[in-house]
Amino acid sequence: TTSGAFAESLQVEVEKQMVNLDRKTIIEQSIRDNGRIIVVESLEEAFQLVNELAPEHLQLMIENPLEHMQSIQNAGAIFLGNYSPEALGDYVAGPNHTLPTSGTAAFSSPLGVYDFMKKSSIIHYTKQALQDVSNEIITLANAEGLSAHANSIQIRKADD
């Protein structure tokens, strides 16, 4: 948040909400170990922090959240506005409930249908297309110490 006053009221509200929850002990431990309320100078600083933390869930409770979407690169699920809580996404709205945790949203996406589909890469070059990139392939293969790869190109190159 950009507001110290809001940060203080949020802390009070979190403690108030925990009082009657069934899993109060687990929630208290989680908040103690992982919970943070951070006051920043600007939304830009907030977005930078979000992208560094790469949260599993991110709720943008700001005016016009759609206008700021381009600032978010690393988050598992993004909830926009005051009326899009995490539970909505978990149970009704439709996105996958299996999200990248512990900052892995920096390099991973939510689990999706494509994770369960078998895919193959298909490569087709013409003789001329291979000739056009053969020197680069040979150089890279030799740099990696894969002389057989380099040779497989050199043989085809000599096929001229």
Q: Cβ distance 7 to 46 under 8 Å?
A: no
Radius of gyration of the chain (CA): 25
Which of 15, 28, 41, 56 is labelled catalytic?
56
Burial pattern 3-22, b for ≥16 Cβ within 10 A else e, equals eeeeeeeeeeeeeeeeeeee
56 given a catalytic annotation:
yes
Residue whose token pair is 């700021």:
68
**57 belongs to the catalytic site:** yes
Amino acid at 25: T
What is the residue whose two structure tokens read 């057989």? 148
Pick the catalytic residue: 28, 57, 68, 149?
A: 57
Q: Is 68 helix (H, G, I), strand (E, B) or coil?
A: helix
How many beta carbons lie within 10 A of that of residue 124, not counting itself? 5
Place of tokens 């013409």: 126
91's tokens: 């149970």
Residues designated catalytic: 56-57
